[in-house]
Structure 1
Amino acid sequence: MKEVNYVKYIRDRVGHDEINLTGVNVLIINENNQVLLQKRGTFPYKWGLIGGITELGESLEQTAVREAKEETGLDIKELTLLGTTSGEKCYMEHPNGDKVYFITVGYFTKNFKGLLKIDNFETKELNFFTYEELPANIPNSHRIMIDNYYHGGVYR
Structure 2
Amino acid sequence: MSNTIGDVLQTPLCTVDVIIEKDGGIILIRRKNPPPGWAIPGGFVDYGESLEDAVRREAFEETGLEIKLIRQFHTYSDPERDPRHHTVSTIFIATASGEPKAGDDAAEVGIFARDSLPNEIAFDHRKILEDYFNNRY
Question: Normalised by the size of structure 1, how large is the TM-score?
Answer: 0.75
- Are 2:56 and 1:65 equivalent residues in the alignment? yes
Secondary structure of 2:130's aligned partner: helix
Q: How far off its partner does 1:31 sit?
A: 3.3
Secondary structure of 2:118's aligned partner: coil
Match of 1:47 in 2: 38
Match of 2:72 in 1: 81
- Are 2:114 and 1:131 equivalent residues in the alignment? yes
Match of 1:11 in 2: none
Match of 2:13 in 1: 21
Match of 1:107 in 2: 92
Post-superposition CA distance 1:10-53 (Å, at most 9, x none): xxxx7xxx751111110001131x11000011111210000000
Amino acid at match of 2:14: T
Secondary structure of 1:88's aligned partner: coil
Say if 1:82 and 1:145, in contact at 8 Å, map to a contact too.
no
Q: How far off its partner does 1:107 sit?
A: 0.6
Match of 2:101 in 1: 117
Aligned pair partner of 1:149 in 109, 127, 132:
132
RMSD: 2.0
Select the structure that is richer in helix: 1
Cα distance in 1 between the residues matched to 2:131 and 2:42: 17
- Are 2:22 and 1:30 equivalent residues in the alignment? yes
The count of aligned residue pairs is 130
**Unaligned regions of 5+ residues in structure 2, if any?**
1-7
Identity across matched positions, percent = 30
**Unaligned regions of 5+ residues in structure 1, if any?**
1-13, 94-99
